[in-house]
């Protein structure tokens, strides 16, 4: 007998109210049969005039989680994704790995196949409810979330969801996973549900130890060539000004690690103390290196610091304890948020700046000269790229620099080297997670546009990564949700990273001698521009470098009119 649920306030209704109370404004959802109580609760809330988060219908789970990821990076607010039981969780796993390694907080909710075979309105009523059950649904992603749990009978859902958000937002941040059985969501909420005290999410971040920071200051003061290497200190927008000021005032060089390089704008790209990405000579020369919010500060197989260099690692978890193996040498491992660390360094170095003035000026002059040479080499390469055929990635970067707004957000997934982009402001650059799960870019760009709707969002993406990202699903969402972005496809017809890594490992091997390397070719290429047009967007193929500036402007004009735009740019297969 079919028993219908009719309760005054269900746990699903409390769940939705809780999301609103906790400031979750967007839920990227890929629904299944487990969503019935949530859908009913949404309609009840609308009928009663209650506020709801905005639910977005996303036709692939990887896209949904990637949108939550990009949304956070653009505006600093966590979002939620909601997927269908085990199968939806499996589809979301790659994107969760990306969020985990990128320390992005998000809430991943999944339904749970009904546990009862009869006797409840939410009991199993389809064959999939047996086939989609599992012994340990959270087990498939437990290594990549900070916390996973399943709502249990008698537990207030608001308390459980708040705990999830608190853990996600506590440093080091990351995704969490909560499964929600549909029987429990459909039942009446337990007594006491919905009575949360208002407060900010997460634990108050730890401040670095004062004695350890004092030691770091003394080493920097006495250094002839101090170097800060950072991947993501700019994730906190105030850090861009703090790091820029620290470097300028005290003559400290700043660099980013090897590919993918910086994951945020940490310091303006034209800063006179900025030495670029993974500068091997300067890493080998530095007598003090500060790895600031930096998982992989150098590649030991390529370059190592001096044996007498003082090595300082500063991050909320400077040991990166969720990485199974990480063997970088260190003299100080200081736990704490980088904002506090930068302020402590600045205040302490300022106190002795007068007596250190001569050494500081010497460092400034020397570092600025290195930065100027690097900038000149970059200018020369980009100027020469305009004449090269096929289209060179440096010419694509030059055209983007000329066309984009200063506050445009560039999402770069194996598109062009970050070194070639003009980036000055916080929250204007998003790139691949250290996990490097391909297919992030399309969803990341859409999420960024949702988080910063008044700004241009330009995705530069390799053709292989584009295919991983479910372009039809992404372009559908762009149209359905009014999220126009520009996608520039760097179409070289191959997985360049695989090709290059093979040649790096076997420079004189069989692969180097073959004309067509196995497992890297992506031809025949689809007509990516036509796919965009089929989804209501503006699409154009570009083969001639002379045509690129005008094509780029037409695409941006289309975005301004509210259309998604895609340029399929035929680039050299050899890369840079």
- Whole-angstrom distance, CA of residue 298 vs CA of residue 284: 10
Q: Give the containing element (helix H, strand E) for 441.
A: helix 440-451
CB 453 within 8 A of CB 481: no
Whether the CB-CB separation of 91 and 83 falls below 8 Å is answered with yes
- Structure pTM? 0.95
Sign of the C-alpha dihedral computed for residues 376, 382, 387 and 392 taken in this order = positive
Q: What is the DSSP letter of 198?
A: P
One of 3.30.565.10, 3.40.50.720, 3.40.50.970, 3.40.50.300 is the CATH number of 386-570, namely: 3.40.50.970
Spatial contact of 494 and 486, defined as CB atoms under 8 Å apart:
no
Per-residue confidence (pLDDT) for residue 459, from 0 to 100: 99
Mean pLDDT over residues 446-469, rounded? Answer: 98
Structure tokens at 469: 């990202």
pLDDT, residue 574, reads 59
Spatial neighbors of 476 by CB under 8 A, at least 6 apart, are 59, 535
Task: Report whether 151 contacts 160 (CB < 8 A).
Answer: yes
Domain at 210-372: CATH architecture = 3-Layer(aba) Sandwich (3.40)
* Span 248-275, pLDDT tens digits: 999 999 999 988 889 999 999 999 999 9
Nearest residue to 575 via CA among 509, 490, 458: 490
Task: Say yes or no: do domains 11-186 and 386-570 share a fold.
Answer: yes
Tokens linked to 207: 């401040």
Token pair of 300, please?
């030991």
CA distance 417 to 430: 12
- Within 10 angstroms of residue 171's Cβ, the number of other Cβ atoms is 18
- pLDDT number for residue 576: 55
> Mind listing the pLDDT tens digit for each residue in 90-119?
999 999 999 999 999 999 999 988 888 899
Report which of 559, 427, 548 is spatially closest to residue 490, judged by C-alpha positions. Answer: 548
Cα distances (angstroms) measured from residue 430 to each of 410, 547, 551: 6, 27, 23
Percent of the chain clearing pLDDT 90 (strictly above): 84
Contact of 50 with 17, CB cutoff 8 Å: yes
DSSP 201-235: SSPPPPPPPHHHHHHHHHHHHH-SSEEEEESSGGG
Q: Which fold has domain 11-186?
A: Rossmann fold (3.40.50)
Domain ranges of the chain: 11-186, 210-372, 386-570
Mean pLDDT of the chain: 95
């Amino acid at each position: 007998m079919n028993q219908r649920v009719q309760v005054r306030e269900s746990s699903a209704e409390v769940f939705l109210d809780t999301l609103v109370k906790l400031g979750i404004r967007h839920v990227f959802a890929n629904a299944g049969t487990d969503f019935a109580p949530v859908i009913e609760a949404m309609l009840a809330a609308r009928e009663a005039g209650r506020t709801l988060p905005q639910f977005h219908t996303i036709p692939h789970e990887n896209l949904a989680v990637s949108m939550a990821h990009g949304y956070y990076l653009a505006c600093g607010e966590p979002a939620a994704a909601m997927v269908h039981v085990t199968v939806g969780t499996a589809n979301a796993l790659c994107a969760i790995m990306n969020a985990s390694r990128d320390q992005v907080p998000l809430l991943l909710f999944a339904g749970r196949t009904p546990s009862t075979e009869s006797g409840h309105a939410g009991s199993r009523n389809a064959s999939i409810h047996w086939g989609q059950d599992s012994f340990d649904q959270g087990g498939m992603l437990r290594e990549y979330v900070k916390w996973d749990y399943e709502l249990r009978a008698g537990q207030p859902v608001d308390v459980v969801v708040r705990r999830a958000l608190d853990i996600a937002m506590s440093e080091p941040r990351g995704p969490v996973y909560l499964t929600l059985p549909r029987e429990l969501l459909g039942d009446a909420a337990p007594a006491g549900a919905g009575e949360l005290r208002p407060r900010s999410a997460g634990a108050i971040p730890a401040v670095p130890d004062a004695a350890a920071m004092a030691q770091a200051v003394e080493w920097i003061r006495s250094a002839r060539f101090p170097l800060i290497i950072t991947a993501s200190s700019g994730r906190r927008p105030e850090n861009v000004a703090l790091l820029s000021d620290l470097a300028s005032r005290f003559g400290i060089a700043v660099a980013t690690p090897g590919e993918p390089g910086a994951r945020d704008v940490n310091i303006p790209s034209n800063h006179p103390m900025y030495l670029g990405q993974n500068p091997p000579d300067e890493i080998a020369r530095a007598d003090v290196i500060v790895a600031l919010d930096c998982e992989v500060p150098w590649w030991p197989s390529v370059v190592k610091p001096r044996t007498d260099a003082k090595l300082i690692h500063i991050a909320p978890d400077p040991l990166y304890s969720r990485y199974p193996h990480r063997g970088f040498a260190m003299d100080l491992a200081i736990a704490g948020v980088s904002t506090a660390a930068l302020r402590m360094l600045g205040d302490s170095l300022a106190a002795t700046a007068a007596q250190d003035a001569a050494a500081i000026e010497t460092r400034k002059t020397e570092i600025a000269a290195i930065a100027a040479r690097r900038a000149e080499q970059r200018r020369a390469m980009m100027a020469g790229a305009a004449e090269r055929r096929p289209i060179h990635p440096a010419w694509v970067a030059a055209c983007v620099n000329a066309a984009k707004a200063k506050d445009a957000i560039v999402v770069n997934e194996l598109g062009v080297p970050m070194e070639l982009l003009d980036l000055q402001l916080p929250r204007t650059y998003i790139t691949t997670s250290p996990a490097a799960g391909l297919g992030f870019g399309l969803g990341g760009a859409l999420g960024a546009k949702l988080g910063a709707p008044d700004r241009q969002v330009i995705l530069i993406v390799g053709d292989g990564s584009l295919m991983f990202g479910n372009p039809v699903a992404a372009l559908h969402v762009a149209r359905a949700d009014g999220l126009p972005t520009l996608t520039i496809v760097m179409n070289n017809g191959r997985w360049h990273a695989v090709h290059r890594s093979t040649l790096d490992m076997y420079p004189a091997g069989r692969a180097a001698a073959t004309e067509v390397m196995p497992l890297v070719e992506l031809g025949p290429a689809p007509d990516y521009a036509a796919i965009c047009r089929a989804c209501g967007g503006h699409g154009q193929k570009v083969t001639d470098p002379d045509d690129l500036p005008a094509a780029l402007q037409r695409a941006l004009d289309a975005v301004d009119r509210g259309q998604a735009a895609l340029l399929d740019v035929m680039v050299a297969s050899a890369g840079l």
